[in-house]
Structure 1
Amino acid sequence: MQSNNTDGKYNYFETGEGTPIVILHGLMGGLSNFDGVAEYFSKKGYKIIIPELPIYTQSILKTNVKAFAKWVKDFITHLEYDRVILLGNSLGGHIALYHAKMYPEKMLGLIITGSSGLYESAMGDSYPRRGDYDYIQKKAEAVFYDPAIATKEIVDEVYNMANDRIKLIKTLTIAKSAIRHNMAKDLPKMHVPTCIIWGKNDNVTPPEVAEEFHELLPSSDLYWIDKCGHAAMMEQPNEFNNLMNEWLIKINLTSDLAKPE
């Protein structure tokens, strides 16, 4: 089963049946960034759910990491799941981490890749040159080890965001929120089983960030992907899926533990 759903408050994609994995995209990321993950895990006994995060649609007061984490909790409750596995990339990883801090009772496990939460300098400094397409193209290419992955479609999306005044204001608001919600003090108290999958060539959140996450999170495992930048699930989907699957088996998250009653 595969479908795009709009039920009033929420737009989301879902496919497969089984233990729910809720996937949170990043600031520049669309739902399609996780096509490889959705296809692979929907065939392995998981229900993949990818909501469209309300990054540009909530009021400025609700445009922050904490409010997005609450939105995710409300979304999980709306779908009537008791507990889920959360997977997040970049800002989506930060929201997933904050959700795990606030609502550990909703968590079966957590997977982060290229996540913010400890190191945010890359988020807020990239958008001032609104009209400069070449500059934005270089910024988009720098996200990946292989710049060819930054297709014209991806660059156009970032360019359009940078030239939309409201979206730009909200992007900068989120960047400030990410810095404000630094999680270094929270992580040692968080015991949700966590899988950290990181590109060795990530320029946005460098490898030492992954090492710090691993050091601070008491129940974490760290996996590296070579020749890979900030969006491992897009750039090296096969290796990403294999590592994530290996971890899910390791911590025994392969059954229908979380199906609603």
Structure 2
Amino acid sequence: MQYEIKRDGDFQYIEEGQGKPLVLLHGLFGALSNWVDVVGHFSQRYRVIIPLMPIYTLPVLNTNVKALAEFVHDFLVHKQLKDVILIGNSLGGHVTLVFVKRHAELVKAMVLTGSSGLYENAMGGSFPKREDYNFIKAKVEYTFYDPNTATKELVDEVFSIVNDKGKLVRILSLAKSAIRHNMSEDISAMRLPTCLIWGKQDNITPPEVAEEFKRLLPDSELHWIDQCGHAPMMEQPVDFNRILDDWLKRRGF
């Protein structure tokens, strides 16, 4: 299903449904489409909002995790949103953690899935064979348990990104920023309810990363999805939605 991309000032986003706000944050190679099954399921009872993060449009010297967190802050203020539930995948989870450290007063709870912030085995720091389509295809397939999840459309999109010099420079800048900006000393102070939803076969942020998040976050639950890699909401959307639905209901959200 295709959702309308709304444009308001400097912001582009999807917004569907009414109710308590769920704000979804995509990862480094992610897009609004990563969350299509989540939108379809939860917009029946929640106000589901996905801002398009300015990964490729920030000034190169300011392309980092903190700048993305401030973009999210500006977006929430612009939309007059508070008591939001932030849901982040991969880099989007890392941005969620930085945002909560800086602006916890706006957040009711957070959901992390395949989140960076402690450790990640990134797709590669230099893309030495970025002009080799099969190399990029293998890198995208590595993200998932089932390589068939890496559709030609998805591989084509990543191939286009890494062969655009301006976009590649920003991708590498963000990847280095994520490695530098380790959150291990910060998250023990984050006492808001947290749901961790992890693929058992995540190669990018492996299971031990999820276990460490569970250990460090004071009010967290960890849920596993089998036969699933780094993007559970894409690869196993039914299980992802079921786990998140149950957690939201039990926590009264």
TM-score range, shorter chain: over 0.9
Amino acid at match of 2:166: I
Tell me the equivalent position of 2:70.
70
Tell me the equivalent position of 1:11.
12
Q: CA RMSD in A?
A: 1.1
CA contact (8 A) 2:15 2:50 kept: yes
Shift of 1:121: 3.5
Shift of 1:124: 4.2
Say which SS state the counterpart of residue 185 (structure 2) adopts. coil
CA contact (8 A) 1:144 1:231 kept: yes
Residues 240-255 of structure 1 aligned to structure 2 (within 5 Å): 240-253=240-253
Deviations along 1:115-159, whole A, 9 cap, x unmatched?
100113425436222111111100101111110010001001111
Separation in 1, partners of 2:101, 2:61: 21
Separation in 1, partners of 2:158, 2:219: 35
Tell me the equivalent position of 1:167.
167
Separation in 1, partners of 2:26, 2:236: 16
Deviations along 1:48-103, whole A, 9 cap, x unmatched?
00110000101023211111111101101110112211011000110011111111
Residues 85-104 of structure 1 aligned to structure 2 (within 5 Å): 85-104=85-104
Question: Taking structure 1 as reference, are residues 111 and 123 closer, same or farther at Cα in structure 2, changes over 3 Å only?
Answer: same
Shift of 1:225: 0.2
Amino acid at match of 1:225: I
Question: Taking structure 1 as reference, are residues 207 and 248 closer, same or farther at Cα in structure 2, changes over 3 Å only?
Answer: same
Say which SS state the counterpart of residue 195 (structure 1) adopts. strand
Identity %: 55
CA contact (8 A) 1:126 1:139 kept: no
Separation in 1, partners of 2:185, 2:128: 31
Q: TM-score, normalised by structure 2?
A: 0.97
Separation in 1, partners of 2:191, 2:156: 40
CA contact (8 A) 2:121 2:203 kept: no
Deviations along 1:189-210, whole A, 9 cap, x unmatched?
1112110000000011100000
Tell me the equivalent position of 1:152.
152
Amino acid at match of 2:49: I
CA contact (8 A) 1:64 1:178 kept: yes
Tell me the equivalent position of 1:35.
36
Say which SS state the counterpart of residue 213 (structure 2) adopts. helix
Deviations along 1:139-180, whole A, 9 cap, x unmatched?
101111110010001001111111111111111100110011
Tell me the equivalent position of 2:23.
22
Aligned length: 251
Residues 1-261 of structure 1 aligned to structure 2 (within 5 Å): 3-43=4-44, 45-125=45-125, 127-253=127-253
CA contact (8 A) 1:123 1:175 kept: no
Amino acid at match of 1:216: L
Name the stretch that deviates more: 11-20 or 121-130.
Answer: 121-130
Separation in 2, partners of 1:70, 1:128: 32
Q: TM-score, normalised by structure 1?
A: 0.94
Separation in 2, partners of 1:209, 1:18: 32
